[in-house]
Amino acid sequence: MHLDKLARLDLNLLVILQVLLEEQSVTRAAARLNVSQSALSKSLSRLRETLGDPLFSRTAHGLKPSAHALMLGQKLPRLLQEVYQLTLPPGFDPASSNRSFSFAMVESAYETLIPGFIGPLLAQAPNLRINSYMWSEKSISDLQLGQIDFGIDGIDLQPQSNFHIDNLPEGICHQTLFTDSQVCLVRQGHPLLALHQAGAWNIDAYLEVQHVQVRCEGSDWWALDYHLAEMGRQRSLCTTVPDFYGAASVCAHTDLVFTLPESFARHAIKLYPLVILPLPFDFIPLAYVLLWHQRNNADPGHQWIRDIICQSVSGAFGQPATPTAGLNSD
């Protein structure tokens, strides 16, 4: 290790480089760092001299990173997070901590999971700040970049799923919280209820009716639809909506069928005049998983939050969380 060379490096320049990579604009980066554009331009010149690379070129749409800058951008978040960890006091005292933690969660987790653990978290750590966001197609990238601390996602436990527990992106750890089954919701008085009572509720009846679907991560199809496609079957998705509450409301006022995780269905029937029907064919369950980056494995605050979440979910659903988190090493 060339400590003499490191001693001449201004670590603030690495922070500036990370912000420039994220914003790709001197104007936005200067505003975010609360410095003038001329001061930021001087820092960029120092970065170029120190690293021996132009790093960015100016275009009509802002700054375009060089290949070397993009390579550095893959390493910087973890490096800066580790440097930040060095500045924190050892240990974690929930009662006195005023740290902030951020979550990205699938919509159903807000009703089925977060009410169970947000209370215990804040009861023991009243000065914590919890920021939560909706899970999206960029949430995994946000975990890798250190822009969020935790993710809670639902992963279909089937080979056709694009997102596998045993093949998570590099550096992402997981702990399975509980598994859930898919069920159907229909309005009270729906003709399918009589069909079910008569013992005629089967896959053919399921595919003959029209369905409302929640659009997840930009896709109208769920793993269930790919499963049906492999069987040479397809359901009629005549209506797609952006959220679970919207789908439940549509379902309560039409003859459309809504297929969803049972945990959210149990919540929905308390709010809407709906009835749960079983899915009339076998389908592999859904796993709700807690996700984080391996850089935070040993952080006492992260460990404490993970323990609280796992304990609360285990108590609510009677399923012990998987004791050992999956880990994909760099």
User: Residue 48 — pLDDT band, cuts 50, 70, 90?
Assistant: very high
195-247 per-position pLDDT tens digit: 999 999 999 999 999 999 998 766 778 788 888 998 999 999 999 998 899 99
Q: What is the pLDDT of residue 218?
A: 65
Q: Say if residue 325's pLDDT is above 60.
A: no
Q: What is the pLDDT of residue 270?
A: 94
Predicted pLDDT at 92: 87
Res 158: pLDDT: 47
- 140, 109 contact by CB (below 8 A): no
- Confidence class of residue 166 from pLDDT cuts 50, 70 and 90? low
Q: Which residues contact 293 (CB under 8 A, 6 or more apart)?
A: 78, 143, 144, 146, 171, 172, 173
pLDDT given at position 89: 63
- CATH numbers and ranges of domains, the chain: 3-87 (1.10.10.10), 100-180+286-317 (3.40.190.10), 182-278 (3.40.190.10)
Mean local confidence (pLDDT), 276-304: 92
CA distance 135 to 242: 12
Q: Check residue 155 and give its pLDDT.
A: 78
Mean pLDDT of the chain: 87
**pTM > 0.75:** no
Please tell me the distance from the alpha carbon of residue 139 to that of residue 145, in angstroms, as a whole number.
10
Band of residue 124 on the pLDDT scale cut at 50, 70, 90: very high
